Amino acid sequence: MASRSPGTNAPVALILGDQLSPDNPALVRALSEGGSALMIEAPGESTRTWSHKARIVMFLSAMRHFAQSLEAQSVPLDYISLEDEPQQPALAARLAGYLRRKLPSAVLLTEPGDWRISREIARACSECAITLEVLPDPHFLVTTRDFARWAADRRTLRMEHFYRHVRRDTGILMEGDEPVGGRWNFDAENRKGFGPAGPAGIGAARRFEPDTVTREVIALVARAFPDHPGSLESFAWPVTRAAAVAALEDFVATRLAAFGPHQDAMWTGEPFLAHSLLSAALNLKLLDPREVIAAALQAYRDGLAPLQSVEGFVRQVLGWREFIRGVYWLDMPGLAGANHFGHHRPLPAWFWTGDTHMNCLRSAIGQTLTHGYAHHIQRLMVIGNFSLLAGLEPGRVSDWFLAIYVDAVEWVELPNTIGMALYADGGRFTSKPYVASGAYTDRMSNYCKGCRYSVRDRSGPRACPITLLYWNFLVVHEQSFLSNPRTRLMARNLSRLDAEARRTLRRAADRTLESLDTL
């Protein structure tokens, strides 16, 4: 794309692919000082983790649309595109090359969402002797400093405590000092399966058919990353601010009311259910969390959605999203290498194809490869649960989660994977490992009905691998489960197994663990 920068002695705002807000503070500052904007497509960011094609398209298309909107406003912009400098695939190398050519007075950068990238950018600027100024990211309601202050005097970090603190602080869903409706959460009502009839009455999510820019990016990605996982055929994600706003309106009008009760439920052939599908738009900063929360609150006031759904949704955006980001910046870089259980098994090959006989994993991974999307419980209690029970190496699992979802950015992916799904941080912010037998999947979905395995069996040729590995996990970690009040009951179930039953179980689990690729 054309270079329109004003040249030396003015600052340049580096706009990363997940910073696509016109209010980006680095952009606003650079323009107020007569500077320019810089955007860089770096193939190295797509190959470092072997990214899903749809994730690459999501970022590149959103970046190109954002660049177009800047150009329409005559913002001076330098744009380095994917194919511009084939010998320099890495973001930092492309940045350094640019800085040496253009010699801006300073690089202005809004806080990145990735610890590694923030370090690489700092190094590139320092090597080129260009000042780097990092500005706070106003996208989040809670700053990293305020989160650190909140966390400082606590022995344990719990989302529920943080969420109540933020609700009190912001007045969101509050009546004076009390939560609206007299309760802080509706979890008890919000964990229902669908029952045998399956989901009914949930509006279909709006699709955003690719425009010319997106179609060009799809062709480019298919050409440049032909062996990467995932499909591009059903790409229909919002990649502009206008489309993201339309996606928010669509969610509030058609699915928010149904969001609460069944937010944990899953169903074959129903990849989206009542979920908002807003995570990628939020993470790329096409949407502001405040407007997302405001839209949900307005729907409640207008009587369009019940409190249990609105609170359930607000909890995700105001609670979990802000909390997870705080944990990331508090615990990096140690979080990335955490491996509490010392697990080192590689991922089975079917993580990249969905080609497994386990219907739950085939469904969750299959829709992930098709759409770059799975909802929270599919990520946590199907794929994450299997990964933990099978002793997969946390770093490799995290790389997979970072590669495979259209909404994946490290600040949100890593704590969810390492902390929430794998307990690899030893329970820094979760009170117990989230492990479950196949019975949970059976309760929350219809996956077990169409499965080669039998969900209740933990022995025999049709033994459900999830159930078998769950019991094996309990045996292996019996003492620590007994010493934790939150898991004691689970471990007490083991008293039904005598020594011989335990040995048989361990042998069957070992055989399963040795043949993960063929499950």
Decide: is 277 part of the binding site for ligand FAD (CB under 6 A).
yes
Residue 201 in contact with residue 171, Cβ under 8 Å? no
24 binds, among ligand SF4, ligand FAD, none (CB under 5 to 8 A by kind): none
Residues 426-465 that bind ligand SF4 (CB under 6 A): 438, 441-442, 447-448, 451, 453, 455, 464-465
277 binds, among ligand SF4, ligand FAD, none (CB under 5 to 8 A by kind): ligand FAD
Q: Which helix (H) or strand (E) holds 410?
A: helix 410-414
Q: How many CB atoms lie within 10 A of CB 149?
A: 11
Q: Which residues pair with 81 in a beta bridge?
A: none
Residues 416-445, one symbol each (x = binds ligand FAD by CB under 6 A, - = not), give xx--xx------------------------
Cα–Cα distance for residue pair 318/11, rounded to 1 Å: 34
448 binds, among ligand SF4, ligand FAD, none (CB under 5 to 8 A by kind): ligand SF4
Decide: is 343 part of the binding site for ligand FAD (CB under 6 A).
no
Cα–Cα distance for residue pair 418/269, rounded to 1 Å: 28
Residues 323-362 that bind ligand SF4 (CB under 6 A): 358-360
Please identify, using beta-carbon distances, which residue of 98 and 237 lies nearer to ligand FAD.
Answer: 237
Q: How do beta strands 106-110 and 36-40 pair?
A: unpaired
Amino acid at 33: E
Please identify, using beta-carbon distances, which residue of 336 and 347 lies nearer to ligand SF4.
Answer: 347
Cα–Cα distance for residue pair 449/442, rounded to 1 Å: 8
- Minimum distance, C-beta of residue 450 to ligand SF4, in the bound complex (Å): 8
Residues 188-207 that bind ligand SF4 (CB under 6 A): none
Residues 295-334 that bind ligand FAD (CB under 6 A): 313, 316-317, 320-321, 324
Contacts with ligand FAD by CB under 6 A: the residue count is 28
Longest pairwise C-alpha distance within the chain: 77
Decide: is 411 part of the binding site for ligand FAD (CB under 6 A).
no
352 binds, among ligand SF4, ligand FAD, none (CB under 5 to 8 A by kind): none
Q: Residue 46: how many CA atoms within 13 Å on its side-chain side? A: 26
Burial of 58 (0-12, 13-18, 19+ CB in 10 A): buried
Stretch that binds ligand FAD, among 190-198, 379-387, 442-450, 491-499 (CB under 6 A): 379-387
* Vertex 470 angle, CA 464 and 476, to 5°: 135
Short-list 409, 377, 414, 412, CA closest to 397: 414
Q: Give the residues lining the site for ligand FAD (CB under 6 A).
A: 275-279, 282-283, 313, 316-317, 320-321, 324, 375-376, 379-380, 384, 401, 405, 407-408, 412-413, 416-417, 420-421
